[in-house]
Amino acid sequence: MNVTDAFKTFQDVVNADIEHVREARARRDLFRNALSTEGDVKEVIPSGSLARGTHKDPIHDVDVIVVFDQDEHPEWGTPGTSAADALDYTRKRVNSLLGATNGTYDHSVRLSRWRNHAVKCFLDDPENPDAFTVDAMPALRRDGRLLIPEALSKDWIACDPEFLIAESANRHAEWSKFSGTVRMLKWWAAEQDTKIKSLVMEVLALDLLPTNFNQPAAIRQFFVSACYQIEGGTEVSDPAGLCGPIQRDIDYGAFTDSLRSARDNAVKAFNAQTNNDTTAAIEHWGEVFGDVFPKPSSNGGSAPAAVLSTPRQVKDTPQG
């Protein structure tokens, strides 16, 4: 097994099982279909990592944006109580349509609670830490962008999640491994000792992951470029230029240290591969991605990464 084969094996570990992906899509589409029957709903937009194709294993939540008709809710979109009112209205409509006891469309939602921007709907036992949820975010379409409620500030903020979806699709059209490679980078972030949101990695990848290299070379270049930018004080912000920093509480010092280590090992791996030292190359990539990356075998190839003996449940770290 060469380095390319090792990455193929690692990709299988990072990717969610296709049946789990289908189940997540079905649950998301249940909300799309149910909420689309409402007379004051203009459209229901899939959002989040599943819509961008950058979901990694395991999946635990999906996102939809419920775009309401401004004419039907003229009081929404202004500072004050309307942000909380929109969230509570959305919660009530979800319960009416999909509530486990009295839903008129389906009986799927066990509990729904509104948070700062969206209504979190539990389709599994809410006490289960791995419970699958659908986040339904109310919105208004205005001036070519979306306005979403923010309960904490009692206001509405402009955002453009469709921009990131479209840009991710464009990159994947340029390079068929783009989305899978982003999943690898998100896996890397989740394994670090400091908290790095998945969306931070997606936005960095949008800017810094080249689409004209093979996968190992592209990842090496990503870590070189990302380390240079973050070390130089670049703050990762909304690519649409509307919402500011992606993760305000990120420890950029610790993030830089993690990127520096990944960069150094990726460069060593690439140099070893250039020198036809497959064993050393795979070992260095293992230093980047951890124990799930295939190990080199005694004959200079690599052994497959460990395979779980039981199917993984549909769950995930919260996505952007």
Q: Which tens digit of pLDDT belongs to each residue from 22-59?
A: 999 999 999 999 999 999 999 999 999 999 999 988 88
Which of the pair, 298 or 312, is modelled with greater confidence? 298
Q: Which tens digit of pLDDT belongs to each residue from 172-215?
A: 999 999 999 999 999 999 999 999 999 999 999 999 999 999 99
Residues 46 and 127 in one domain: yes
Residues 34 and 156 in one domain: yes
Give the Cα separation of 32 and 71 in Å (integer): 21
Residues 133 and 219 in one domain: no
- pLDDT at residue 64 greater than cutoff 80: yes
Q: How confident is the model at residue 282 (pLDDT cuts 50, 70, 90)?
A: very high
Residues 22 and 159 in one domain: yes
Residues 23 and 142 in one domain: yes
Strands, E, within the chain: which ranges? Answer: 41-47, 61-68, 111-114, 119-122, 133-142, 145-150, 155-159, 295-296, 302-303
Residues 181 and 115 in one domain: no
- pLDDT at residue 305 greater than cutoff 60: no
- pLDDT at residue 315 greater than cutoff 70: no
Residues 22 and 63 in one domain: yes
Task: Tell me which amino acid residue 210 is.
Answer: P
**Cα angle 34, 36, 42; round to 5:** 155
Predicted pLDDT of residue 297: 79
Give the Cα separation of 13 and 297 in Å (integer): 18
Predicted pLDDT of residue 299: 58
Residue 308 lies in a domain: no
Residues 101 and 128 in one domain: yes
- What is the CATH number for 112? 3.30.460.10
Residues 152 and 229 in one domain: no
Q: Which tens digit of pLDDT belongs to each residue from 75-92?
A: 999 999 999 999 999 999
Assigned token pair, 260: 């520096």
Predicted pLDDT of residue 4: 94
Share of the chain above pLDDT 90, in %: 88
Local structure of residue 71 (DSSP, 8 states): G
Predicted pLDDT of residue 313: 42
Predicted pLDDT of residue 35: 98
Q: How confident is the model at residue 95 (pLDDT cuts 50, 70, 90)?
A: very high
Domain residues for the domain of 43 are 18-163
Residue 313 lies in a domain: no
Q: How confident is the model at residue 19 (pLDDT cuts 50, 70, 90)?
A: very high
Residues 185 and 268 in one domain: yes
Share of the chain above pLDDT 70, in %: 93
37-46, 161-170, 306-315: range with lowest mean pLDDT:
306-315
The per-residue pLDDT of the chain, averaged, comes to 92
How many CA atoms lie less than 13 Å away from 294 in the CB half-sphere?
25
How many helices (H) and strands (E) are present in the chain, helices listed first? 10, 9
Residue 86 lies in a domain: yes
**Domains in the chain: how many in total?**
2
**Among the listed residues 153, 305, 309, the one whose alpha carbon sits nearest the alpha carbon of residue 243:** 153
Residue 311 lies in a domain: no
